[in-house]
Amino acid sequence: MLGIIGGTGLTKLANLKIKRRQIVRTPYGEPSGPLTYGDICGYEVIFLPRHGHGHTIPPHIVNYRANIWALHAEGVRDIVSVASVGGIHPRLDPGVIALPDQIIDYTHGRKNTYYDGGDLPVKHIDFTMPYSDRLRNLCLEAATNISESIIDGGVYACVQGPRLETAAEINRLERDGATMVGMTGMPEAALARELDMHYAAICPVANHAAGRGSSAKGIQYDNMGDVLNKTMQRVRNLIERVVVGHAC
């Protein structure tokens, strides 16, 4: 089954016909909210808003372990995540949709593994390629089928949040090879890998990163919200086609 994790700007899926909502208990506490069961174009999916239905959970407080565990417990084996980002690379202007193929983790203090000295033996995962090639290709094919432009590839820098970055920090991330910056990509991707789940991220660009383009002298929140709202409609259309392709 396909699971969809929504981030900032995607607390609900307008094209999801809801069948039921279910609270799932996990050994790691409460997920961000009840899992929403529904269908898109007649195909069943499970949706979970990462920040809660009222967008009240900041990125450093999200219970990533509970979220991924709950989806796995309900039969999800493939996850498509939606995670808004700031664009570092010149091609990543606000309104662009990117599909990263690499990630760098700058977070700290997050519960980032299921194998932390409890009852489970230590498991070392291969994280060379953090995103599923199969799901990435599915997203790329979906974009082609609806004539949606999407940037194939990129390096997602996952920072702690909830504050945005300084211009100097963005310069550092760029020197490290990052092309976009967000706050929720880790440990989500690694936890999915630990449970042998396939995972890919669709990343709409909400703004230029600090010190870049229109954010050279500061990030304009009003503009960011307007851009993200418009881009999310395109993301919903893309997800719809991904769901159809996943079922076929």
Residue ranges of the annotated binding site for phosphate are 8, 50-51, 184
Q: Strand 2-6 vs strand 78-82: parallel, antiparallel, or unpaired?
A: parallel
DSSP per residue, 153-183: --EEEE---SSPPPHHHHHHHHHHT-SEEES
Q: Is 123 exposed, middle or buried (0-12, 13-18, 19+ CB in 10 A)?
A: exposed
Per-residue pLDDT tens digits for 45-68: 999 999 998 889 999 999 999 999
CATH number at 35 reads 3.40.50.1580
Q: Is the pLDDT of residue 161 over 70?
A: yes
Which structural domain, as residue segments, surrounds residue 177?
2-247
Residue ranges of the annotated binding site for substrate are 183, 207-209
Per-residue pLDDT tens digits for 168-208: 999 999 999 999 999 999 999 999 999 999 999 999 999 99
Per-residue pLDDT tens digits for 80-106: 999 999 999 999 999 999 999 999 999
Q: How many domains does the chain have?
A: 1
Q: Which of 96-100, 112-116, 138-142 has the lowest mean pLDDT?
A: 112-116
- Helix, strand, coil share of the chain (percent; to 5): 30, 25, 45
Residue ranges of the annotated binding site are 8, 50-51, 183-184, 207-209
